[in-house]
A and B are shown apart, each in its own frame.
Chain A
Amino acid sequence: METAGIKREDIGLESSKAMVESRLAADMLTVVPLRHPWRSAAVVIVLALVALLLYSVATNPEFQWPAVGHYLFNPLILAGVGMTLLLTVIIMILSCIGGTVVALMLISSSRLLSIPAKLFVWFFRGTPALVQLIFWYNLALLFKHIALYIPGYGTIFSIDTNDVITPFTAAVIALSLQESGYMAEIVRNGLKSVGHGQTEAALCLGMKPSLLMRRIVLPQAMRVIIPPTGNETINLLKTTSLVSTIAVGDLLYSAQSIYARTFETIPLLLVASFWYLAIVSITSIGQGYLERHFSRDEMATTGSALSTLQAHLFSFRKRVAS
């Protein structure tokens, strides 16, 4: 039977005449999506504000755009970029190692290991980076000499603190310790995210604890560890600007040293911002690739590298000091 274009097969073989009529009536209806008038209003307001801002940026001569272009590839600025990258890489490597060690101590069943680790995290996450930075820079006020002394044998070596603690080493030590505290929590969460069943299955196959950590637990923990570590790296990159206060020649310090002479404050801060944004953007792309590498088995459900990049560029991170 066929009634007004509706086949019986479409609505089940046992359909009655009443059902066919009901279907005809239903097919007459159209679904109207909900309108969002306030959303349209908000879009207009935002567009207007953006236009005003752009107009101001383009027409206000105090931005001194020609000066920005002039200093963008200044050798001193480029050296500052190099120093900022060097600091970020060294500190991140040290704090990944330090953070993993502290994380393994945190999850240890021995309290003699877990309590010192907890205190470490508590202390270095609880004090401001700037305070630690100045503290390490002034270490010589606390210890005149750094020496290794073994009772009954004597001093093995002794060195003047001011010879070791340069602005650069003070910056590396202070920020590495601080960052290790954050990395420890991240690594610990990653390790915890791998179910106990994985460890047991690996043990039952005769894998040693070291092998199962390397082949089973860490690769799975990585997918939990990498996104916040990427955020940490980006955050650290910006935090390194604090070292300008102890005269390490990073990007901000280079910019400051130029505008201290030329008084072109705004253009040089714009130059510094440009470089920070550029490095952060490149880092985010790298992070996207790493994330995809460690979630190969979920490829079908993860987005493109571009969307991962966007997600990280525009995400604001919250640090909860606990």
Chain B
Amino acid sequence: MSHFERFGVSPDTMIHAAGVRKSFGSLEVLKGVDVTVTKGRVACIIGPSGSGKSTFLRCINHLEEINKGLILVDGDFVGYRLQHNRLFQLPAAAICQRRAEIGMVFQHFNLFPNMTVLENLIEAPVRVRREPIVQARERAIGLLERVGLAEKKNVYPRHLSGGQQQRVAIARALAMNPKVLLFDEPTSALDPELVGEVLEVMKDLARAGMTMVVVTHEIGFAREVADQLIFMDDGVVVERGTPGQMIANPASRRTREFLGRVL
């Protein structure tokens, strides 16, 4: 069901978050976050550690429940069902279908170590989408070519470098044909010389028109690729804008201080 009209959201919006609040026990980590990402665009979220940016990302695909506010992905809720102004939390099995449309790439890759690269890629299409195995394998090889790892298809993840593992993780997310890709600090666990190959793959995706939300510390990547740069601190969005304008001329003192530290 689509809720674009009811919440006054334009239909070309992929992610619409409004007033998102989230607490862990007595600690409030998100204190009312509003973010809108248009289809086909790239949003980069930056900010100091503990600012809530990763938590917000995990709320988008309902890895974390939210305490207040709403998040719509392509006009619909992910973990909730709306009925008479109340959001009823859905059981895990019901959330799965919606979640499968949202790809996620993790800081620590989280490839399945007991499966080869190819098995990692076809697992979800075959088991979740019931795709024929031959077709899934063909598509998986195509995706591996896209991330430059076709020759590694029969290798177990532990024999790959961090950069290669992350590229496989991106291909695995793409295998589900997601509407949007979420990246949670995708290069933070990599050796410096391996960061570039992962960023190259992500730039390719951005050029191909994939909607992406990227939590990152790579300001250079954000400047080059992002359509929208979002600076979060202490559970709120402090500033947002085009990267060029924001990096050259930050409006807020907190943004200026943060950029001063990382640039």
Contact = CB atoms under 8 A, between A and B. Distances in A.
Contact of B110 (A201, A208, A296, A298): A201
A205 B169 CA distance: 11
Given A201-B106, A215-B127, A297-B113, A208 B92 contact: yes
Nearest to A301: B158
A208 B112 contact: no
B92 A205 contact: no
Nearest to B61: A204
Interface string B95-135: 01101111110101011111010000001100111000000
A290 to B, nearest CB: 14
Contacts of B30: none
A206 interface: yes
B221 interface: no
Contacts of A207: 96, 124, 127-128
A215 to B, nearest CB: 6
Nearest to A297: B156
Interface in B233-261: none
Contacts of B173: 204-205
Given A200-B110, A215-B127, A208 B158 contact: no
Given A206-B99, A208-B92, A298 B158 contact: yes
Nearest to B172: A205
Interface in B63-78: 63
B27 interface: no
A198 B110 CA distance: 6
B106 A200 contact: yes
Nearest to A216: B112
Interface string A173-205: 000000000000000000000010110111111
Interface bracket on B: 20 to 34
B224 to A, nearest CB: 26
A219 interface: yes
Nearest to B124: A205
A165 B64 CA distance: 51
B123 A203 contact: no
Contacts of A200: 63, 104, 106, 110
A171 to B, nearest CB: 37
B93 A209 contact: yes
A211 interface: yes
A201 B112 contact: yes
Contacts of B128: 205-207, 211
A220 interface: yes
B99 to A, nearest CB: 5
B214 interface: no
B46 interface: no
B114 A208 contact: no
A42 B169 CA distance: 55
Given A209-B92, A298-B158, A204 B112 contact: no
Contacts of B113: 220, 297
Interface of A: 195, 197-198, 200-211, 215-216, 219-220, 294, 296-298
24 contacts: A197-B108, A198-B110, A198-B112, A200-B63, A200-B106, A201-B104, A201-B110, A203-B63, A204-B61, A204-B63, A204-B103, A205-B124, A205-B173, A205-B176, A206-B96, A206-B101, A207-B96, A207-B127, A207-B128, A208-B96, A209-B93, A215-B123, A296-B114, A298-B158
